[in-house]
Amino acid sequence: MYGDSLRDNIVGLIVVDPDRIKKYAEEKGKATDDATLATLLDDDLKKIILDDILRLAKDNEFSSLEKPKELILQLDQFTVENDLLTPTMKLKRNIAKTRF
């Protein structure tokens, strides 16, 4: 989850599992080759994930300020190699913010 004083709400940055995305695509009758995986990160999938997150937040009594209103779905893992993590495994927020 990411909060910024320039936004009215927090944003969830979700790294999705490619295998789960392929299963979702098969259920929807969509192509599942690696070239089209990114196109599967559509509004329907965002709604499914957001609904699940909001259900968990409600079950755990999160306040409205702690619940995301928007999601960014991503296939790329956070790694040191792609420069999103430091060697001590901390998120490089300034770099992640500009990429997403």
Average pLDDT, the chain: 85
What residue spans define the domains of the chain? 11-75
- pLDDT tier for residue 65 given thresholds of 50, 70 and 90: confident
78 within 8 A of 72, measured Cβ to Cβ: no
Give the angle subtended at the CA of 100 by the CAs of 73 and 1, to the nearest 5°: 65
Q: Judge whether residue 98 has pLDDT over 70.
A: yes
So what's the pLDDT on residue 18? 84
Percent of the chain with pLDDT over 90: 29
Secondary structure element (H or E) that encloses residue 74, with its range: strand 70-74
Three-class SS of 15-33: ECCHHHHHHHHHHHCCCCC
So what's the pLDDT on residue 25? 82
| Full-model pTM | 0.76
Q: Distance between CA atoms of 27 and 64, rounded to whole angstroms? A: 32
